[in-house]
Copies of this chain bind each other. A is one copy, B any other.
């Protein structure tokens, strides 16, 4: 499928919308299942999220997509706009699955989310560049959440907080999101 190319502004807007949908729907799953909780009163909410969460998440996804594009590392697979929808949907499905794992032994939850994350990378774009972005996301995303939890703005449920206050499977979820973000700019813009 040859997508008609978008301008840079349209591409950025489309990625923001995609990231907001995934971030808000995924976070709503975590809040509904009691996986996470927002601790500060009086912060405006969008759906189930404190307003700062979708802003930070969508900004990070856009930055990751744009910086990966600028870095120019070669892709193994060319991805279309439909693939971008599939990639975002798979990451959202994995996000929702993590909301089912509150009573699951850590070994099982980490292996499950980690295996799917590796499969997402190997399917979406098994390139060293995407691996680097995914790995960076797997480190930086949980680190940022650890700071947020330490600041008292949100918390993970007892038993799902074994990684310095955040979920042990969180790096795997960020890995999958980072792998898709790595080629999201080109896929969304169109050839």
Question: Complex formed: what's the CA distance from A33 to B96 in Å?
Answer: 21
Question: Complex formed: what's the CA distance from A166 to B33 in Å?
Answer: 21
CB-CB under 8 A from A82, the residues of chain B are 76, 122, 126
Q: A76-B1, A115-B92 are in contact. Are A32 and B108 (CB under 8 A)?
A: yes
Question: What sequence of 0s and 1s flags, for each residue 64-92 of chain A, a beta carbon within 8 Å of any chain B beta carbon?
Answer: 00000000000010001011011001101
Verify if A164 is at the interface (C-beta below 8 Å from B): no
Is the contact region of chain A dominated by helix, strand, or loop, or is it mixed? helix
Question: What sequence of 0s and 1s flags, for each residue 102-123 of chain A, a beta carbon within 8 Å of any chain B beta carbon?
Answer: 0011111001100110110011
Verify if A190 is at the interface (C-beta below 8 Å from B): no
Q: A1-B126, A76-B82 are in contact. Are A111 and B25 (CB under 8 A)?
A: yes
Verify if A100 is at the interface (C-beta below 8 Å from B): yes
The answer to whether B33 and A118 have CB atoms under 8 Å apart is: no
Residue in contact with A122 in the complex, picked from B33, B48, B85, CB distance below 8 Å: B85
CB-CB under 8 A from A100, the residues of chain B are 104, 108, 112
- Interface centre among A25, A89, A95, A108, by most chain B C-beta atoms within 10 angstroms, is A108
The answer to whether A90 and B119 have CB atoms under 8 Å apart is: yes
Residue in contact with A29 in the complex, picked from B1, B108, B123, CB distance below 8 Å: B108
Q: Which 8 A-B pairs have the closest CB atoms?
A: A82-B126, A86-B122, A96-B112, A32-B107, A89-B119, A93-B115, A92-B115, A32-B105
- For the complex with contacts A29-B111, A89-B115, A96-B115, 5 further pairs of A-B residues with Cβ separation under 8 Å are A80-B126, A82-B126, A85-B119, A89-B118, A89-B122
